[in-house]
Chains A and B, each alone.
Chain A
Amino acid sequence: MPLSVLLVDDSKTVRSVIAKALRLAQLPVHEVYEASNGQEALDVLEEHWIDIVFADINMPVMNGIEMVDRMNADGLMKTVPVVVVSTEGSQTRIEELRRKGVRDYVRKPFAPEEIREVVDKILGAPNHDRTE
């Protein structure tokens, strides 16, 4: 199944790194949307079907935590899995994120395999064939 992915980070470099990792992981990504903060991400989610969101925490305008809170308050958006991609190394804070409803966490720097594992775990490997 082709995937629509939303990358949320205020750094263009990070969005490029994640997009590259998705390609190298050979996931069947059909569409990659980008947003530079939580508010822009909510706007994309209003307009497009998204299978999975990769988001940073610290962003201007609206941070990743507030974005998740706002998604949780919306009947449809709360079904979209959010994976945090961050430099955060504190297990205390990662547990807080999970309690908020964040589905998984990938720590920077990461390998493409880590992105693939997370997507497989959340969306289920049978639901998306890898491109060869």
Chain B
Amino acid sequence: MTELNEHMIEAICDVLEKLAFMFGENAEKEELSEPPEQAFQGEIEFTGDVANGNFGLIVPESMCRELAVNMLGKGPGEEVTPDDSKDAIQETLNVICGQLLTRAAGDQPVFNLSVPKVEVISGQQWNALAQDEKTSALLIDDYPVLAYCKFERTN
């Protein structure tokens, strides 16, 4: 695993634990269960003096709902809307990217982060992303998760 991937996995696990009480670990792609019927693919781009790139996270729709429930502090049986799920994954992307950039570049460089884009993808699209070598696999509270990061130094 590359150093950047290690930073990414650490940032994802650390943020999800603190933000939503969800616990994760690095996984082999073969360990992931069947692809979810529906998933959210979120991506955030960053630009800065030392590097440009992006960070992406692909999570099952059911995990996104649980993320929103935990972040919003909903009680048992309380529902969240699709917009709540989208807002929760956008904020999660934002926080993870901030943490990842500090791990990768230190605490001096300034980066500008884009508004995270989120789209719904099918199980077929999930499979294609899982086979792509740019993605890494994680298990978050037993949910299969894919993630990727591009960090291109500018100097």
A interface residues with partner B (beta carbon < 8 Å) = 11-14, 16-17, 20, 58, 86-93, 107-111
Residue on B nearest A93 in the bound complex, by CB: B110
B45 to chain A, nearest CB (A): 13
A89: chain B residues within 8 A (beta carbon): 98-99, 101-102, 107
Residue B108 contacts which of A17, A90, A107, A108 (CB distance < 8 angstroms)?
A90
Known: A13-B68, A13-B71. A109 touches B108 (CB 8 A): no
B97: chain A residues within 8 A (beta carbon): 87
Residue on B nearest A17 in the bound complex, by CB: B71
A109: chain B residues within 8 A (beta carbon): 14-15, 18-19, 95
Which B61-87 residues sit within 8 Å CB-CB of chain A? 68, 71-73, 84, 87
Residue on A nearest B102 in the bound complex, by CB: A89
B51 to chain A, nearest CB (A): 13
Interface of chain B: mostly helix, strand, loop or mixed: helix
Q: Is B135 an interface residue (CB 8 A)?
A: no
B84: chain A residues within 8 A (beta carbon): 12-13
Q: Is B88 an interface residue (CB 8 A)?
A: yes
Which B83-130 residues sit within 8 Å CB-CB of chain A? 84, 87-88, 90-91, 94-95, 97-99, 101-102, 107-111, 113, 115
- In the assembled complex, the Cα of A107 lies from the Cα of B107 at a distance in Å of 12
- In the assembled complex, the Cα of A16 lies from the Cα of B84 at a distance in Å of 11
CB atoms of A111 and B91 under 8 A apart: no
List 18 extra interface pairs beyond A17-B72, A89-B101, A109-B95, CB under 8 A: A11-B91, A12-B72, A13-B71, A13-B72, A13-B91, A16-B71, A16-B72, A17-B71, A87-B98, A89-B98, A89-B99, A89-B102, A90-B109, A90-B111, A91-B108, A92-B109, A92-B110, A110-B18
B95: chain A residues within 8 A (beta carbon): 87, 108-109
B98: chain A residues within 8 A (beta carbon): 86-89, 107-108
Binary interface encoding of chain B residues 11-38 relative to chain A, with 1 for a CB under 8 A from any of its CBs, else 0? 0001100110000000000000000000
CB atoms of B88 and A13 under 8 A apart: yes
Residue on A nearest B74 in the bound complex, by CB: A16
Residue on A nearest B114 in the bound complex, by CB: A58
Which B46-72 residues sit within 8 Å CB-CB of chain A? 68, 71-72
